[in-house]
Amino acid sequence: MAKINFDINPVNEINHVMHDSDSGSMSKLLDLCLRFGSLMNSVGSESARTEDSIERILAAYGIDSPSAFCIPTIVIISFKDEDGNIYTSSRRMRSQSSNFTKLDELNSLSRYLCDGELKTLSIFESELDRIEEIEYNFNMNNLIGTLLVAFGFNFIFGGDLRNAIGAMLAAFLMALINNFLTNAQVNSTFNNLASSFFGNVFVELFAMIGLINNTGTASISIIMGLVPGMLLTTSIREVFSKDYTSGLNKLVECLFIAISLAVGAALAIVLLR
């Protein structure tokens, strides 16, 4: 995590938050926790982990028995101050993605705020501002991972080396399209449909020039790179943890992703065969 700026006077603000309990300070704390929770939820965190982090942060700021409720589309927080005043608010998330860089930074921020030494709200806010500005970058590791997935699954499904090379090239071009649509903030369902469509178009074209000899194997291999493994795992874990609302929500999202991938692949096959 980046170096924290301590130019402000922490003692005055800490006392202001912990002891004065005025509505302005409590409202700001509530807003910051909502920002934290909605950001954490929107970059791939489990709902239970988001709830736990919010409640720990509020407890670190002296709030007794805070309550947080999260599902993939909304965060709700409620707590009482020392005078018994109730503060509650919610924030809706309209888009979700997987961004491990932001998730790691948010986890680090949560641990930093809960390390036993009370931090000012200004520090909390400045760190959130910094994390929100972190952009998704499709780096070399993402690209290598996409290529290895296509290469490896090709052999698992019975393809040969030539087929694997063709699948890797198709996966490379598909990854570029997927990254472009992600940066353009295109709807995730359309993104997956378009990526699957163009990926399978490349598979069919490579088959026409003899680079791929088993289009079925190559098609499955490149699509495996788009399968939401983390989302599926998280949803199953939440269902087993009896967090049914969040778990079933994510299972439905996985279902729509699977349908979009299948429709995209089918369209490419119908148009080019």
| 168 in the same domain as 120 | no
In the chain, how many domains are there?
2
Strand partners for 70: 75
Q: Report the C-alpha gap between 230 and 168 in whole angstroms.
A: 22
pLDDT band, residue 212 (cuts 50/70/90)? very high
Verify that 163 and 231 share a domain, yes or no.
yes
Domain shared by 79 and 171, yes or no: no
Rounded average pLDDT over 29-38: 95
Examine the domain organization and report whether 80 and 174 are in the same domain.
no
Q: Both 145 and 199 in a single domain?
A: yes
Q: Which of 103, 133, 163 is the last residue of a domain?
A: 133
1 in a domain, yes or no? no
| Separation between Cα atoms, residue 270 and residue 222, nearest integer Å | 18
Determine the distance from the C-alpha atom of residue 58 to the mean position of all C-alpha atoms in its chain, rounded to a whole number.
23
Q: Does any domain span residue 116?
A: yes
The DSSP code sequence of 188-232 is HHHHHHHHHHHHHHHHHHHHHTTS-S-HHHHHHHHHTTTS-HHHH
Q: How far apart are CA 193 and CA 260, in angstroms?
A: 5
Q: Which of 133, 150, 174 is the last residue of a domain?
A: 133
Kindly report the number of other CB atoms within 10 A of residue 239's CB atom: 16
Which has the closest alpha carbon to 201: 148, 263, 264? 264
Residues 174 and 60 in one domain: no
Q: Which tens digits make up the pLDDT trace of 216-234?
A: 999 999 999 999 888 888 8
Tell me: pLDDT of 99 over 90. no
CA distance 228 to 257: 8
- Residue given tokens 């991972």 in the structure block: 145
Residue 13, domain member (yes or no): no
**What type of residue is 12?**
N
- Given a cut of 90, whether residue 272 has pLDDT beyond it is no
pTM, entire model:
0.77
- The yes-or-no verdict on residue 11 having pLDDT over 50 is no
Half-sphere exposure of 129 (CA within 13 A, CB side): 8
Q: What pLDDT digit, counting tens, does each position of 150-177 carry?
A: 999 999 999 899 999 999 999 999 999 9
Distance CA 72, CA 75 (A): 8
DSSP code, position 93:
-
One domain, residues 39 and 85: yes
Domain that holds residue 267: 140-272
- Verify that 210 and 146 share a domain, yes or no: yes
pLDDT band at 14 (very low <50, low <70, confident <90, very high): very low
Same domain, 32 and 154: no
User: Nearest-CA neighbor of 239 among 48, 37, 50?
Assistant: 48
Burial 119-133 (b: 16+ CB within 10 A, else e): bbbbbbeebbeebee
- What single-letter amino acid sits at 74? I
Decide if 152 is inside a domain.
Answer: yes
For residues 116 and 156, membership in a common domain is answered with no
- Assess whether 146 and 260 both reside in one domain: yes
Same domain, 50 and 119: yes
CB of 261 closer than 8 Å to CB of 199: no
